[in-house]
Chain A
Amino acid sequence: MIPAAFDYVRPATLDEALGLLGKHGEDAKVLAGGHSLIPAMKLRLAQPKIVIDIGRIGDLRSIGERDGKIAIGALTTHYEIESSDLLGRSCPLLPEVAGKIGDVQVRNKGTIGGSCVHADPAGDWPAAMLALDAEFEIASPRGTRTVAAKDFFVDMLTSAVESGEILKFIHVPVTAKTAAYVKFAQKASGFAVAGVAAVVDQARKAVAVAVTGVAAKAYRATGVESSLRGLEISAATIATAAQKAADGVDALSDIHASAEFRVHLARVYAVRALELAASRG
C-alpha cells in the first residue's frame, strides 16, 4: 500500500516537463491522473526515483474542434470526455467509451492520455482509438511527431511513447453517430475481457472494428472489416463477418476468461457493436 520513496517535481509547462524527463531518463515516471501509475507504485511494481507530475499543465487539458478534426489534450479526464457536449455532437463514440471506464471516481481523475500511454491490454480507449484511426501527437525536446493509432499500441503495456517523450494531444475525426462501443467487463476490475468499438459508414459501405481485452494489445478486426466492405450492413452480413473478429489473434487466457471464451466474446461483441452502431443511423 505504501510506495517506495521518490522525489517529486511538478513542472508548470510542457517544456519544463520534457527537460526534467530528459535529465532523469529511466529514473523518472510521468504522473498524469495517476490511476495506472499509482496502483503500480503502491504494489511496488513500479519504483521510479523521481515522479514528474504533469497534472497541472493546463494546455494539455482541452477538447477543441478544428478543420473537421477534434484535438483532445492528453490530460483530459474520462469524465470531461463523458460529459463533453462537443464530443457528444461530433464524436459520440468517445463519450460512450468514457462512460464505461472504471467508475465515477476513476473517471474524475484518470486521463485519456495516461490511459493510452499505459496501454493496458484490457483498457477501453485503445479500441476506440484504433476504430477512429486516431492520431497521437507526441512531444519531445526535439519537437513533435505524430503516430497513427495502428502504430501507437505496440504491445502489452507498451505504447509508442518513448522515454523522454510526453503525449500531448490525441486527434480524432469528426464522426457520425453510427458508432458504438460495447464491452464484456471483468466482473472484479471492470476492465474489458472483450471490448469492441465499431464505426459504420453506411454511405461508403465500410466499417471499422477494433477489439480490446482479447489480445496482448488492442487490434483492428480487419477480417470483419474486409468481409463487410461494399456490402449492405444487415443482421445477416454482420453475423457472418463478425465470425472473423478474432482471426489471427493470440487470445489471452487467465482466471477470468480462457482464450477460447475471449475469442467467442470478440465475435459476439463484434455483432453487438456493429448492430448498435448501424441502428443509430
Chain B
Amino acid sequence: MVTTTENAPEVNASQGYFGRAMKRVEDPRLIKGIATYVDDLKLPGVLHAEFLRSPHANANIKSIKTDAAKKLPGVLGIFTGADVNDKAGTIPCASPLPGGKSPAHTVLAGARAYFVGHPVAVVVAETRTIARDALDLVDVDYEPLPAVIDPEKALEEGSPLTHPELGTNVAFTWSLPAGDVDGAFKEADKILKIRMVHPRLTPMAIEPRGCAASWHAGESSLTLWTSTQIPHLVRTLLPGMIHIPENKLRVVAPEVGGGFGSKLNLYAEEAVVSYLAMHLDRPVKWIEGRRENASATTHGRDQIADNEIAIQKDGTVLAIRSKIIADVGSYCQLLTPAIPTLTGLMLCGCYKLKAVRVDLTGVHTNKMSTDAYRGAGRPEAAYMIERVMDLVASELGLDPVEVRLKNMPESTEFPFTTATGLMYDSGNYQAALKKAQDLADWPKLLEERDTARKAGRLFGIGLSTYVEICALGPSKIMAAGGWEWACVRIEISGKVTVITGTTPHGQGQETSFAQIAADRLGVPIEDIVVLRGDTATAHFGRDTYGSRATALGGTAIVMSIDKIIEKTKTLAAALLESTPKEIEFKDGKFFINGNAKTALGWGQLASEAYVAKNLPAGLEPGLEASSFFEPPNCTYPFGTHIVAVEVDRDTGQVKILKYIAVDDCGKQVNPLLVEGQVQGGIAQSIGAALMEKTVYDENGQLLTGEFMDYAIPRAADIPDFVLGSTVTPSPSNPLGVKGVGEAGTIGATPAIANAVVDALSPLGIRHLDLPFTPERVWRAIQEKEGQS
C-alpha cells in the first residue's frame, strides 16, 4: 500500500474494533458474484417494462399510436400519460423554496415533453426483448418547439419558456443576506470580480437505476425493490402517489451499485412500475439502460456565479457578494432547490468573513433535473472560495498559504459561527494544512516548481483548505426528519442483530456498525449481523446521503446498546440477588462490583430474558432496544489537499504529478474504509476537474449520453495518493465522527483547479473554468500567447 494513513483513534473499548482498519463482512458475496442487485431478482411471472422517451428537448405530443405495438405477441399493454398520470401521482419536490414556481411533474409526459429522455409511454411485455421490440412500433407524433438551453438567455426578455404556464423560466429565487455586506465593501481596499462556472455533471453510477414491484392482492399490499439510496423516503412519498396506505408498502433497497446522490430521489419509473404491478396484478421489472441513465437520472452541479470579493491589502477577505444562476433543468425533483442553497451557506469556506450576500436564481431549461450529486452544493462552494483565496493571493502578491492562514479561525475559536450563520462544530484547519504541507515536503515542492519554470515547463502547485457540512442533519433544517434510527437485538442465543435505518450502498456500514457494536457490547464481531435497506426490517430510517450514516446511524446504535445494557443490569442484578447499582458491565460481562466470579455473559442473560422464568417483577422479557438520534448540529469535516501538476504546452493535457490529501473526518471507525471514501471522492473530483461535463447542444440534444462520450476517470488517470488525516472529534455526536463520504469530492477539485491555474500563471492566465480539458487549456494558452 502506498498511502500513508495516520489515525490515532481513541480505542474506547477492550476489543479495539473501533478504529481498526479491517476488511469488510459484505465483501464475500460481492467478490463471489452472488449478491443480489435489482436486476438479479428472480420474480416468478415477472413482466418487463421499457419506457419510450422523448427524442426532443421540447415538443408538443400530438398523438401516440400504440396499435401496432400492442399487436406484438407477448405485449401486455402500452400505457401513456393519459392512462397513468392521474393514477400514479406527481413527482414530489421535498424542498421547495418560498415563492418558487413549480409545474406539475406528472410521471409520464402529458401534452408536452420537456427534455430529451422524458418518459412518454411505457410498454409491458413478457420479456425484455419483446418490450424493446414493441418500443420501435409505438408511433408518437411530436411537434418540436424551440428548446430553452442557455440558463442566462432563459432569463432574458422574450426567451421561449420551458413551462409557458409559469410565465417565467425562474424556478425559484433565494437570498442569503448575512452581515453588513455593503459596509464591508465600503471598507475594502480592493474589490475583485470573478465569474465562475461549475459545469453540469452526470453521476454515472456503474449500476444504472432499476426497480421491480410486486402486488400482493390478498393483502392489498405492494413490495417495491428499487436501486435506491432512500427506501424509507420512498416509502414516505410513494403511497400518496399510487394511492395505497403507507403501511401497505414495503420498499427494499437490494444491493445497490453506487448512487452518489443520483439515487437519492423518487423517480417516475418507480411510481409507474408500482402502479403497473398493481394494475396488472403481476410483478413488473424495469432496468435502466446507460443512455436512459445519462438522460433521465438526475445530474449534478451546473452553476454560474458572478462574484465580487471585498479585500484588504493585507489579505483579509472581508465579504463576498455572489449572484448564482443554477440551471435546474425542466423540473425540481426531490432536493433540487436545496442543493444550491448549500452552496450559499458554505460560501465562506473555512474563513472568518464578515459578511456574505448570495442571490440565487434557479432556472428552468429543457434538460434533465439537477439534484444531489456527491457533495451536493458544497463542491461548488469550495471551488469558489478556494479559487477566490488564490485570486486574492495573486492579486496582492501574497503567498496563498499565508492568505488562508490569515483568514482562518484558530482552533480555539470553535464552535465557530460563520457569517452565514452556520455553527462549525470543531476544527483545526491549521493542523491539517501543516500536516499536508509536511507530507508534501512543501519547500521541496516549491523548489521543484522553480526549477521547472526556469526550464520553461508549465508546472503548478495548488492547494485547497476546505470545510464542508454533512451528517445531515437536525430535523429543523431537513425536509422530513433528519434523525436516524437503529434497533439492536440480543437474540436468545446471544447473537446480535443490529438494524440500521441508514442504507449503505458500498460505504461499508455492515462492517463499521458491527465494529461499533462489538466494542460497545463486548461481543465477538463474528456474532453480529447488520441489516439494512428493507423497510419491513428497518422500519424507521432516513437513509444514506450527506455523509450521515456513521455519525447519525452509528450513534443511534450506541444509544440502543446503552439502553440494553441498562436493562440487562437490572436483569443481572435480579439473577445475582443484588441491585442494579452494584452491577458492573465490562468486556461483555455483567458482574457484581469487584466480584468477577459472579460474571454472567450475554448468552446466559439473553436466554434468561427470553425464556423468562426468572424475570424480576416489572421487567419485560427480551433484550432489544431501538432509538432515534436527533443530532444537535451537522458536522463539519475539513482538510487540506495539495496537488502538483504539469501542463503539456503543446496539447493542453494536464498531468497530476503529486497528490497529497489530509482529511479530518473526526474519529474514524475503520481507517481502511475512510481511505476508500477519500480516494473515491478524489477520483470523482479529478473527473470533474479534468474531463467531465454534461453537454446538451443548442437544440437540447444530449451529446454525452454514453461512456463513449462522457469520460469518467480510468485507473490510469489516478495517481498514487499520499493520504494522511488529523482527528478532531465532532461534538455533534457521542462517537465524535464527522463523516467522510463526500469530503474527497469537495476538497479535491479546487486544489486541482488552483494547481492548473498556477501552472498557467506565468503566461498571465488568472482564471480558467472547469473542466480543464486539453482543448480548453490549449486555447487559454493560445489566447495569451497570441496577445504577447
Contact = CB atoms under 8 A, between A and B. Distances in A.
B703 A2 contact: no
A187 B703 contact: no
A261 B708 contact: no
Given A265-B651, A268-B651, A5 B695 contact: no
Nearest to B710: A188
A186 B653 CA distance: 12
Contacts of B691: 187-188
Contacts of A44: 136
Interface centre among A44, A258, A261 (most CB of B within 10 A): A261
A268 B650 contact: yes
Contact of A255 (B695, B707, B779): B695
Interface stretch (B51-59, B127-135, B138-146): B127-135
A63 B662 CA distance: 53
Interface in B667-709: 691, 695, 703-704, 707-709
B711 A264 contact: no
B775 interface: yes
Contacts of B289: 1
B710 A257 contact: no
B133 A264 contact: no
A189 interface: yes
B721 interface: no
Contact of B711 (A2, A184, A188): A188
A248 B775 CA distance: 22
B778 interface: yes
Contacts of A1: 132, 289
Contacts of A257: 775
Given A184-B651, A257-B775, A268-B651, A2 B132 contact: yes
Interface string A166-207: 000000000000000000101111000000000000000000
B775 A258 contact: yes
A122 B493 CA distance: 65
Interface string B289-305: 10000000000000000
Q: How extensive is the interface on chain B, given as a class? A: 20 to 34
A4 interface: yes
A261 B709 contact: no
Interface in B710-745: 710-712
Interface string A1-45: 110110000000000000000000000000000000000000010
Nearest to A47: B136
Interface centre among B651, B707, B708 (most CB of A within 10 A): B651
A261 B778 contact: yes
Contact of B129 (A2, A189, A268): A2
Contacts of B775: 257-258, 261
Interface string A241-281: 00000000000000111100100110010000000000000
Nearest to A189: B708
Contacts of A258: 775
Contact of A188 (B129, B136, B708): B708
B711 A255 contact: no
A226 to B, nearest CB: 24
Interface centre among A2, A187, A261, A268 (most CB of B within 10 A): A187
Chain A contact surface mostly: loop
Contacts of B136: 4, 44
Contacts of A255: 695, 703-704, 709
B778 A188 contact: no
Contacts of A4: 133, 136
Interface in B402-440: none
Contacts of A187: 691, 711, 773
B709 A188 contact: yes
Contacts of B778: 261, 264
B132 A189 contact: no
A184 to B, nearest CB: 6
B16 to A, nearest CB: 42
A252 to B, nearest CB: 13
Nearest to A188: B711
A256 B692 CA distance: 11
A252 B128 CA distance: 38
Nearest to B773: A187
A257 B704 CA distance: 14
A189 B709 CA distance: 6
Contacts of A256: 709
Interface string A105-146: 000000000000000000000000000000000000000000
A44 B711 CA distance: 23
Contacts of B703: 255
B618 to A, nearest CB: 63
A264 B691 CA distance: 20
A171 B743 CA distance: 55
Interface in B611-668: 650-651
Contacts of B704: 255
A268 B774 CA distance: 13
Interface string B257-270: 00000000000000
Interface centre among B289, B774, B779 (most CB of A within 10 A): B774
Interface in B758-788: 773-775, 778-779
A39 to B, nearest CB: 9
A189 B705 CA distance: 12
Which 3 interchain pairs have the tightest Cβ spacing? A188-B711, A187-B711, A189-B708
26 contacts: A1-B289, A2-B128, A2-B132, A2-B133, A4-B136, A5-B133, A44-B136, A184-B651, A184-B774, A186-B711, A187-B691, A187-B711, A187-B773, A188-B691, A188-B707, A188-B710, A188-B711, A188-B712, A189-B707, A189-B708, A189-B709, A255-B695, A255-B704, A258-B775, A261-B779, A268-B651
Given A1-B132, A2-B132, A187-B691, 12 more contacts: A188-B691, A188-B709, A189-B707, A189-B708, A189-B709, A255-B695, A255-B704, A256-B709, A261-B779, A264-B778, A265-B651, A268-B650
